[in-house]
Amino acid sequence: MKDNIVPLAGIVMVLIAGAFMLGLGIGQNKLPEVGQLVGMVTKSGSSDVVVTPGGERVDMTVFWSVWDILEEKFIPFGTSTEAVSTVSAEERLFGSIEGLVSSYNDPYTVFMRPEQAADFKIVTQGSLEGIGAVVGERDGAIIVVLPLPDSPADKAGLIAGDHIVAVDGIPTSGLSVDKAVERIRGPRGTRVVLTISRDGGEPRDVPVIRGRIEIPSTSHAIVTREIPEVAAPGSVAATQPPAARDFYHLRLFNFSQTSINAFERELREFRDSGAEYLILDLRGNPGGYLEAAVRMAGKFLPEGTVVVREFRGPNREEMVHATRGASWFVDGLPSMVVLVDQGSASASEILAGALQEQGIATVVGTSTFGKGSVQELVNITDTLSLKVTVSRWYTAGGVSISDGGLTPDVPVDPDAAAEGDPWIEAAVQVLTQ
């Protein structure tokens, strides 16, 4: 059974080799030997006709006719009568496959050449060197989704929403996320210059020295605020000083295989802390394993509650993912707010959407990223891979996560607070009003 990972898809952690992709199902089995790309060996027989799942027949002889004509007639470029720029048969084959993949018009479906496939495998094994930023693609632009705390990207001053206009002077216009990451990545100690445009302003160069990245699963802090006491209706309110209230600020950075244990530990500490309110912070969280999101939602929801609906494959077969086990808060749910922003993606959107629709928590912030698809990594050969979108995600109530992301219950203006964190201040106001 393949693991489902829900996004960073189209969102990429720029670490050692480029693509720490959340929103991915890993296909461990390669294609049968007969189906591997081992060479251009035949143009006849049944392989000349492809029948799609919808029953559409595609005559592949058109492709071979074009291939043959180019082989026969095309004259390569040369700067002299002897120097000729040639393109290998393998390069032409890979280019053809990339053209086919791009025709599906999905930025998260990508054919990986040997170098990309090898890099991807290194990253999924946990090698973490780079600038320490999550990047994504929106409307054809490469944007910073989240600079990790204390990472090189964070220290260089990058913030969520920055547009990466160029990398080392090379424009990113028209590049996929994976291609952009290829340019940004690199070993620690090396330098990369990102040209950044912020809020539509003039682009400026930001040099970043790559380093080793440590990615936590969670962190927390106790936020204390002086909150005025509210007199009971009909009573004569006595003059009383504001009372100190504690808010447990739990920040979740990803939905990794180990983050569920960290999340459970944080909830125990919350219950032991005596804090009255819980602020679950999913800002800049690019997603991860679907199972982690479902299990986290199950800490607050009754057993059997639908968390997310999955429509899988060309025929859109529906699968329902529901909670298992009883809620941890049988004596009463905490007063709770979930913080989101444009960097909250995929599994973050699934968890926030489930708690929002079930009335468990108020969602505070800005619209989320809108990443509602899952990719599966298929090993075509030992050196070639295809990352293909296989599922679309909807909330239990049928809201498409990809269609503009989630809309918060209480919007936040990032520039509203002169001091402090406007998200936190908005959360405090919601929880105490």
- Which residue stretches of 247-297 are H helix? 259-273, 290-297
One domain, residues 252 and 173: no
What is the chain's length? 433
One domain, residues 415 and 313: yes
One domain, residues 365 and 261: yes
One domain, residues 178 and 255: no
* pLDDT tens profile 66-105: 988 988 898 877 666 665 567 788 888 999 999 999 999 8
- 61 — pLDDT class (breaks 50, 70, 90): confident
pTM for this model (two decimals): 0.67
Which residues lie closer than 8 Å to 31 by C-beta, 6 or more apart?
Answer: 378, 379, 380, 381
- 107 — pLDDT class (breaks 50, 70, 90): confident
One domain, residues 264 and 189: no
Residue 306: inside a domain:
yes
- Residue 230 pLDDT > 70: no
CATH number of 143's domain: 2.30.42.10
* pLDDT tens profile 408-427: 999 998 776 556 789 999 99
One domain, residues 194 and 172: yes
Residue with tokens 């392989």: 47
- 214 — pLDDT class (breaks 50, 70, 90): confident
| Average pLDDT of span 249-261 | 89
How many domains does the chain divide into? 2
Residue 338: inside a domain:
yes
* pLDDT tens profile 108-160: 898 988 877 776 665 554 446 789 887 877 778 898 877 877 889 999 999 98
One domain, residues 405 and 268: yes
Helix axes 114-124, 177-184, angle to 10 degrees: 80
Residue 225: inside a domain:
yes
Q: Tell me, what's the pLDDT at 20?
A: 31
CATH number of 262's domain: 3.90.226.10
Q: Tell me, what's the pLDDT at 235?
A: 58
Least confident of 179-193, 219-233, 375-389: 219-233
Residue 179: domain span:
129-212
Give dist(CA 116, CA 135) in Å, integer. Answer: 17
